[in-house]
Structure 1
Amino acid sequence: MRNLVIDIGNTRIKSGLFENDTLIADHVFEELGAGLSVWETLDFDACMISSVRFRFEELAELVPFPFHFLSPTTPLPVTNGYATPHTLGVDRIAAAAGAWQLAGKKAILAIDMGSCITFEFVDELGVYRGGAISPGLKMRASAMNSFTARLPLVDVDRKAPDLTGDSTVSCMQAGIWYGVEFELTGQIEAYRLKIPEITVYICGGDSQSFESLAKDHIFVVPNLVLHGLNCILNHNVE
């Protein structure tokens, strides 16, 4: 079975074409129109769209082919144990479902490093329990600039700075970078103490900056949300 899955975020649109569970093509677009011009040329059996930008009614008028729309009421391959499922971001549950499937339907921690860093936990029974949300790299830099009188807005490179900064800018960069790195390693270790066999997946725009964390049971999978959407779509069409 061939599936098209589309993830419409606030700034970018990502899509993936799957043959069963294998990603055979992926694209990134800035605007919906550019995506439509590509998707209309593809051969697929089913489609699922996840969007934080458009409502279903809006997409139904714009997209010329039938699709499933990921919403809080969409049946999931994992049990949703979240206390407020109507507030759960669709990208969060998709990342959790994707990690759970890649791990062989075992306990996982999915970490999505975007504007915010989200931690999603699915237990060994296949129950999504929730996780944590904290500011991402750029948000931390912006917050220090916005909420102080003299701290500048600093860039955070894609490689680790010196642990000890020797200027205000480099101190801020070190604080941002290692604050995130130590948060990641701390969260992973806390879950590992509870569930030693847990598998960790890291995705999102800043994930490749922290590829050094990848080792046994920790994997960097940039297209994790697309894998999750494909997993959810298969669950709804099979």
Structure 2
Amino acid sequence: MQRSRSESPAELARLVVDIGNTTTTLALFTGDAEPVVESVPSVMFTDSAAMREVLADLSRKHCTPQAIAICSVVPAAAAAGSALLESLYSVPVLAIGSDLQLPFHLEYGNHNTFGADRLALCAWSCHLFARKSVIAIDIGTAITFDVLDASGMYRGGLIMPGIDMMSGALHARTAQLPQVRINKPASLLGRSTEECIRSGIFWGAVKQISGLVEAIRGDLVRDSGESTVEVIVTGGNSRLIAPELGAVSVIDELAVLRGSDLLLRMNLA
């Protein structure tokens, strides 16, 4: 479907597909309204018939997308998803990547290895906190930190295992430790093996993240003279961990989707 010359990118119905290691989220944006959001397991992208049904149902209930972007950290799923979406909607699919026009300046060793989800989160953070420095944290399968200064320059980042990965590794790499679902413990110290694992991973992650935020904030203040440092937190486990972190400006599980939509609009204009 071709868009009218008179239509701006913001007026189009825009589908963003965020393919993560575990979950794929589909968001349909129209105008400035909050998106319609649905999630499916990422493995569904290996079943084209099932995905066709999901996408057809989304279009029936809402509207047919006129512009599409894929933000993916799973290359094989991204390729399959792009082909499927183009065949369904006859619309070119924009792949979120460092070759796009960006609202921030990226300095990174190999741009091609900078994850699409991190690009989208940085784009949204820069848009949301214009002319302010920001620490963008994604608490998902992995926990990532990305830092922008007030001029929109990318300062660097960190990557560490996510809380579910920590729990899985303890179980997989030991003979007797059980797999434990991580939620907020009732107390700091556990009184069973399961409670000790849960407390160790939950509070360990909280203290790691909060300690790193303070260290990064200190660097920005000392090296760049920044007076205000914003913190945005997203990701599947953001609602679990972020309330314990203290000075967080925004918790938004849709931040990567919003950033992908922003990049889609910027690169359609």
Deviation at 1:152, TM superposition (A): 2.4
Task: Report the equivalent of 1:171.
Answer: 196
1:111 and 2:132 are equivalent in the alignment? no
Deviation at 1:167, TM superposition (A): 2.5
Alignment partners' CA distance in 2, 1:55 and 1:173: 32
| Runs of 4 or more consecutive aligned structure 1 residues displaced over 4 Å after TM superposition | 214-217
Residues 57/11 of structure 1: CA separation in 2 closer, same or farther (3 Å cut): closer
**What do the CA deviations read for 1:182-212 (whole angstroms, capped 9, x no partner)?**
0111121122222441111111111111242
Alignment length (residue pairs):
237
Amino acid at match of 2:29: F
Alignment partners' CA distance in 1, 2:34 and 2:153: 25
Q: Is the 8 A contact 2:130 2:150 kept in 1?
A: no
Task: Report the equivalent of 1:221.
Answer: 252
Amino acid at match of 1:229: S
Mean Cα deviation higher: 12-21 or 105-114: 12-21
Alignment partners' CA distance in 2, 1:214 and 1:175: 16
Q: Is the 8 A contact 1:109 1:200 kept in 2?
A: yes
**What do the CA deviations read for 1:112-156 (whole angstroms, capped 9, x no partner)?**
111111111112111223311111111111222222333222221
Secondary structure of 2:34's counterpart equals strand
Alignment partners' CA distance in 2, 1:234 and 1:131: 26
Task: Report the equivalent of 1:33.
Answer: 52
Task: Report the equivalent of 2:47.
Answer: none
Q: Is the 8 A contact 1:99 1:201 kept in 2?
A: yes
Residues 235/137 of structure 1: CA separation in 2 closer, same or farther (3 Å cut): same
Query: When you count helix as a share of all residues, which structure comes out higher?
Result: 2
**What do the CA deviations read for 1:31-82 (whole angstroms, capped 9, x no partner)?**
3334421454424442211223346653443112212122332222211111
- Please give the residue correspondences for 1:81-230 in structure 2 after superposition, counting only pairs within 5 Å: 81-157=107-183, 159-193=184-218, 194-195=220-221, 196-213=227-244, 217-230=248-261
Amino acid at match of 2:260: L
Q: Structure 2, unaligned stretches of length 5 or more?
A: 1-10, 45-50, 222-226
Deviation at 1:219, TM superposition (A): 1.6
Task: Report the equivalent of 2:83.
Answer: 61
1:46 and 2:67 are equivalent in the alignment? yes
Alignment partners' CA distance in 2, 1:175 and 1:209: 15
Question: With structure 1 as the length reference, what TM-score do the two structures score?
Answer: 0.88
Percentage of matched positions with identical amino acids: 30
Q: Is the 8 A contact 2:70 2:78 kept in 1?
A: no
Alignment partners' CA distance in 1, 2:203 and 2:79: 43
Higher relative CO (CA 8 A, sep ≥ 6), structure 1 or 2? 1
Alignment partners' CA distance in 1, 2:194 and 2:133: 40
Bigger-Rg structure (1/2): 2
Task: Report the equivalent of 2:21.
Answer: 10
Q: Is the 8 A contact 1:119 1:131 kept in 2?
A: yes
Deviation at 1:83, TM superposition (A): 1.4
Amino acid at match of 1:198: V
